[in-house]
A = this chain, B = another copy of it.
Amino acid sequence: MFDFRITARAGRARNGLLPTPHGLVHTPLFMPVGTLGSVKGISPQEIRDIGSQIVLANTYHLLLRPGPQRVKALGGLHRFAAYSGPWLTDSGGFQVMSLGHLRRISEEGVVFQSHINGDLIELSPEKSVAVQEALGADIIMAFDECPPYPASREYMKESIERTLRWLERCFKAKTRPDQALFAIAQGGIDLELRRISAEATVAFDAPGFAIGGLAVGEPKEAMYPAVELSTRILPESKPRYLMGVGHPEDLVASVALGIDMFDCVYPTRTGRFGYALVAEGRMNLKLTRYLDDPRPIDPECDCYACRHFSRAYLSHLIRAEEMLGLRMVSLHNLRYLHRLMEQARSAIAEKRYGEFARDFARRRFGQEIPGWFARALQEGGHWE
């Protein structure tokens, strides 16, 4: 179980197979976010239909409601949310910070205020693991601190050291053999700290390693060197998960460097705002011109929305804030990212990832391919 096997390589990009108690997953992959145990508006059947493999749920949100003991009593996430494929839960650390109700951080853990009723709640490595064991996901994440961007070097150093001590406590606290605990390397965009954190993290024999603390507001020119460095340090033989990343161009560039897993609210959130992901970027369905456009969002897409609805109808629904519109654009966006990763896997298997990524970039960026993207391909060995 969780014995990651690499099945193909193209430069530093790789295809892998990760067996979990709830099914075999193919990497590289994108994981939809089901914050409260539901990918907003999408049913478990649709999740399967569009080719999702792992669904991510947020420990912070489920801790507040309905509560981990309740989820456990109802059969864990798999039965509670009626999705019997693999789940991943985050540790709650990121949300405590990002939702801005953090009250105190200490060696012991954090105290935060519930964004729902103001209650003070403690979260520690031990408690995060206990909550994640109750929720019962296949993959659980170490409790870490994700410092804000920018943060002082001094604070960052202190933080990564504390996160390493927390990591040790997470492994000690873990009791369920049927869950994989992934470790998270931090360090922001400071390459020296990134190296220190990554090297110390890989000393733990985790079944998978994540890169945290990126895509939190820093420029891409600063983010990619940190990704590149991390993928050189994180073991070849374990899945590498770049947390919170979900823009199509970032998926393509990061896979080039050897990233295997991604998650982000981007496709569903931007979908609810009426933006559909297409090869050229984002289609703003609120624009007047789409009200008369009989074409599907993307004629190449095989999702339910593209097989049945015109841009005109979806634009009408989105303008009127009709639930079906929000649902359909979210569904399309998830399918778009899943198709992108399917295409990436085919390209890796056929040793033409560079060609695939350059084709993607030509449609996405036109003549001007950004430097960070080109460099990721070069450093990944995909540029002649």
| Bound CA span A324–B37, Å | 10
Our pick among B42, B66, B73, B309 for the contact of A82 (Cβ within 8 Å) is B309
| Minimum CB distance partner of A320 in chain B | B36
What 1/0 flags go to A328-363 for Cβ under 8 Å of B?
A: 100000000000000000000000000000000000
A367 at the interface (CB under 8 A from B): no
Contact A65–B320 (Cβ < 8 Å): yes
| Bound CA span A36–B322, Å | 8
| Bound CA span A43–B291, Å | 20
| Bound CA span A42–B41, Å | 10
Residue of A74, A82, A312, A324 ringed by the most chain B CB atoms within 10 A: A324
A255 at the interface (CB under 8 A from B): no
Identical copies of this chain, number: 2
Contact B308–A40 (Cβ < 8 Å): no
Within residues 62 to 95 of chain A, which ones have a CB less than 8 A from any CB in chain B? 65-66, 70, 73-75, 80-82
Our pick among B38, B75, B310, B323 for the contact of A317 (Cβ within 8 Å) is B38
Number of interface residues of A (CB under 8 A): 39
| Bound CA span A325–B43, Å | 10
Our pick among B41, B73, B81, B308 for the contact of A323 (Cβ within 8 Å) is B41
| Minimum CB distance partner of A44 in chain B | B308
Distance to closest chain B CB from A69 (angstroms): 10
| Bound CA span A319–B61, Å | 13
| Bound CA span A93–B74, Å | 49
Contact B304–A45 (Cβ < 8 Å): yes
| Minimum CB distance partner of A73 in chain B | B292
Distance to closest chain B CB from A56 (angstroms): 15
A82 with B40: in contact, given A66-B291, A292-B73, A323-B327 (CB under 8 Å)? no
Distance to closest chain B CB from A45 (angstroms): 7
A242 at the interface (CB under 8 A from B): no
| Minimum CB distance partner of A116 in chain B | B320
Contact A40–B310 (Cβ < 8 Å): no
Contact A65–B292 (Cβ < 8 Å): no
Contact A43–B324 (Cβ < 8 Å): yes
| Minimum CB distance partner of A62 in chain B | B316
| Bound CA span A184–B294, Å | 35
Contact A312–B70 (Cβ < 8 Å): yes
A40 with B323: in contact, given A45-B304, A81-B313, A316-B65 (CB under 8 Å)? yes
| Bound CA span A330–B289, Å | 32
Contact B70–A37 (Cβ < 8 Å): no
A142 at the interface (CB under 8 A from B): no
A123 at the interface (CB under 8 A from B): no
Distance to closest chain B CB from A301 (angstroms): 15
Give me the interface of A with B, judged by CB distance under 8 Å. 36-45, 65-66, 70, 73-75, 80-82, 291-292, 294, 304, 308-310, 312-313, 316-317, 319-320, 322-328
**Given A36-B320, A66-B316, A82-B308, list of 17 further CB < 8 A pairs?**
A36-B317, A36-B322, A38-B322, A40-B322, A40-B323, A40-B324, A41-B323, A43-B304, A43-B308, A66-B291, A70-B291, A73-B292, A74-B310, A75-B294, A80-B312, A323-B323, A327-B327
